[in-house]
Amino acid sequence: MMMLKKLVVLLALTIQLNAFAQTEATGKTKYMPTVLVEFFTSEGCSSCPVADEFAMQIRAIADSSGLRVFTLDYHVDLWNNAAYTDPFSDSLYTERQLMMALKNNQRAMFTPMAFVNGKGALPAGAKNDVGKLIEQYAKKPADNYLLLNAAWLPENSTVLVEYDIKGSLDSLDIIVVFAEKVIYNTPNGGENAGKKLSHHNVVRKMVSSETPTLIGTLSMKMVSNTIEFNKYIMIGMLQHKRTKEIKAAQILEFK
């Protein structure tokens, strides 16, 4: 898109797709697998800090083994009350958790809950089960691959996300989140009152399209035109409309 050439491009990662694609004997192209682990958590939940610890362990193992495994931390509003409201929570994330839990035949809503490429709806403490799902997806060549680029438009406080989808678009939604790398907070109420909590890859904004094209853009409106982008990452995902399985994920890091 020509207009992007006039913008300040923030992309810090350039990927040569050919390095990740392979063609099977059937002629169908397969891509390097990516794994997205989504944690749904809350500062109002005393058992939730273990989810952040587990996410750090997952990323450390993935980095050391060269696996493309990403984690996200969604704060839901399930436990918000008069005593304490999680400042990072959003009802949109609660809706996402409910939608994905029901697709996994999980009727109970609890935190922390973990999904691996949209599957599981597992307690975050079920490390062995979560690990098995990660291993399963990390070994399975993917039908799709996602490339991301982004540009900052400070005059209207908007991030313009440019995406490129490889593989079939059939029954796919695209979702892009803007996440803060590290947050420290000490709640003044609730089950974690007085405890210094750490959170990583905390989702702060989320945009999506139910009708993506192979190459397209999404606009993400920010609350301010002064953002320290080095403190954030962007993660995009392709999600199947019916099964809610994540078919591809990609991370965009800013300098």
**How far is residue 97's CA from residue 187's CA, in Å, rounded to a whole number?**
23
- 8-9 β-sheet, strand order: 8-9, 145-153, 158-166, 215-221
**Beta strand spans in 17-86 (E):** 21-23, 29-31, 35-41, 69-75
Closest CA to 121 of 251, 245, 248: 245
Residues 6+ positions from 19 with CB-CB distance below 8 Å: none
**How far is residue 28's CA from residue 232's CA, in Å, rounded to a whole number?**
36
Which pLDDT score is estimated for 28? Answer: 81
Which pLDDT score is estimated for 170? Answer: 95
Closest CA to 149 of 167, 176, 129, 128: 176
Q: At 95, is the secondary structure helix, strand, or coil?
A: helix
Write down the residue that tokens 């989320």 correspond to: 206
Question: CATH fold of 2-14+33-253, please?
Answer: Immunoglobulin-like (2.60.40)
Mean pLDDT by 10 residues, the chain (255 residues): 38 43 71 97 95 94 92 97 96 98 97 98 94 95 96 95 96 98 96 96 98 98 92 98 98 90
**pTM, two decimal places:** 0.91
H/E stretch holding 233? strand 232-240
Which pLDDT score is estimated for 127? Answer: 94
C-alpha R_g of the chain: 18
Alpha carbon 220 to chain centroid, angstroms: 15
Which pLDDT score is estimated for 241? Answer: 97
The DSSP code sequence of 145-182 is EEEEEEEEEGGGTEEEEEEEEES--TTEEEEEEEEEEE
Closest CA to 254 of 66, 12, 4, 63: 12
Which pLDDT score is estimated for 27? Answer: 66
Write down the residue that tokens 């935190």 correspond to: 111
Which pLDDT score is estimated for 207? Answer: 98
Which pLDDT score is estimated for 55? Answer: 94
Which pLDDT score is estimated for 25? Answer: 56
The residue ranges of every structural domain in the chain are 2-14+33-253
